Amino acid sequence: MKIAIVTETFLPSTDGVVTRLTASIRYLMKEGHDVRVIAPDLGVYEFEGAKIDGVPARTLPFYRSKQFALPNSVVRKLLKAYDPDIVHVVNPAILGLSGVYYAEKLGYPMVASYHTNVATYLDYYHLSIFKGLIWWYFRKLHNKAALNLATSQTVQKELTKRGFHHVHVWQRGVDTDMFTPDKYDAEMRDRLSDGHPEKKLLLFVGRLAPEKEIEKIKSVLEESDEFVLAIVGDGPHRLALEKHFSGTNTFFTGYMHGEQLAKAYASSDVFVFPSTTETLGLVIMEAMASGLPLVAAKSGPTCEQVEDNYNGLLYDPENPADFTATVRQFEDETLRRRLAQSAHKEVSEMGWEGQSEQLLHFYQEVAGLEGNNEKAKLT
C-alpha cells in the first residue's frame, strides 16, 4: 500500500503529533507498506526508509519559534508523482490546506486527523472573536475527508457536535521501552533540581506557550519549600516564563529528547500538567510509563487518562487555589509512591503497535482494501 502523509509538523520538531507519526510510520514500514511524508522543509529528508518531501518553510509573525509551510502547488506535483493509495492529512490548517485540496482534486481517498484545539487557544491570545471562523475553516477542511480521527473520546464528541463528519477515536500509545522508571539517573536529578535532589521534584514537559497555563505552578513553590520545579521544553512563551518564575527554585532545560528526556521523567517525583486545552496530552502517558503520578486539570481528555487518587490527582480549574492545594498533597510520600505505582501499571504494556495497527485498518477501509491484506501491502 502506498501511503502519503501531509503534515504541518515533522522531524526534527518533537511534539506529540510527530511522536505519534514516527511511531506509526515505523510500524507501517515494518509491515511492508510504502510511506511518503510531505512536510515543511526543515532539513530532514528520510525517516527509517520513508522519504520526506520538504515544502519551503518560514516563520510566521504570530509564532516566531517555529517554521511553517504555506499552501503550495508543489503538493499537487508530489502527490501526482507518488500516486498514493491513501492520503492522510495531519492537523490540516496551512500546508494541510494544499493536502486536502489536491487530494480531493486528484481523486485520492483521504483521512484527516485532528490534534490541536486551535479555537480554544485563541482565548489565550485575545483573539476569541475569531473562534467561530476557525471552527468553520477546520470543519470545511475535515469534511473533505472520508474519515476523521480524534485523539480522545471528548474531542470526538466535540467535533461531532460541531458538524465534523465520520469522526473516530485514534487510540493512545506510548513508547514503554523508552519511558520506564529504570531510566532514573542521579546526575539528571541533581541537574533538574538545581542541586537540591533531596526536595520533591516537580516536572513539566511540553511546548512553552500561554495556553499551557504553566504560570499556575509558581504558587506551589511560593507556599511550600518542599518542592523544586524543572521545565523541559521551549516555545514562544519561554522568556515570559523565565521572568515569571524568577526567584523561585525553577530550572529551565530547553528541549530534551530520547534518552535524556526519558531520564528526566524517571528522575523526577511528580508530573504537573496545568493545561485545560489538550486533545490528548502524550506527555501524560510518557510520565505514567516513567512511574510518575500526575497533577492535571479536570478536563475531558485528561480524565480519560488520569483517575483521581488512583494514578494521579485532578484539580478543579475553576477554583484558583485548588491547583496548589492538590500538588501539595504530594508532600505525603506514601501517597506519592502509591499513585506512582498505579500510574506505571496503567500503561506499562501499552506500546505503540495497537494504535498503529488501528491506523492501518482505517487506511485500508478508506482505500477500499479492507479484508485484503495481501493487496493492501502491495507497493
| Domain ranges across the chain | 2-173+352-376, 181-347
pLDDT at 378: 34
pLDDT at 184: 98
pLDDT at 121: 84
CA distance 215 to 213: 5
pLDDT at 379: 31
Task: Please give the grid coordinates belonging to residue 175.
Answer: 513508547
297: nearest Cα among 125, 137, 120? 120
pLDDT at 62: 67
- Out of 3.60.15.10, 3.40.50.2300, 3.40.50.2000, 3.30.70.1070, the CATH code matching 181-347 is 3.40.50.2000
CA distances from residue 166 to 103, 106, 220, 361 in whole angstroms, order as listed: 18, 21, 43, 15
Alpha helices in 176-329 (DSSP H): 186-192, 218-223, 238-244, 258-266, 282-289, 300-303, 322-328
Q: pLDDT tens per residue, the chain (379 residues)?
A: 999 999 999 999 988 999 999 999 999 999 999 999 999 999 999 999 999 999 999 988 766 778 999 999 999 999 999 999 999 999 999 999 999 999 999 999 999 999 998 888 888 888 899 999 999 999 999 999 999 999 999 999 999 999 999 999 999 999 999 999 999 999 999 999 999 999 999 999 999 999 999 999 999 999 999 999 999 999 999 999 999 999 999 999 999 999 999 999 999 999 999 998 886 789 999 999 999 999 999 988 888 999 999 999 999 999 989 999 999 999 999 999 999 999 999 999 899 999 999 999 999 999 998 654 443 333 3
103-116: b or e for each residue (b if 16 or more CB lie within 10 Å)?
beeeebbbbbbbbb
Give yes or no on whether 2-173+352-376 and 181-347 have one common fold. Answer: yes
CATH 3.30.230.10 fits 2-173+352-376, yes or no: no
pLDDT at 124: 81
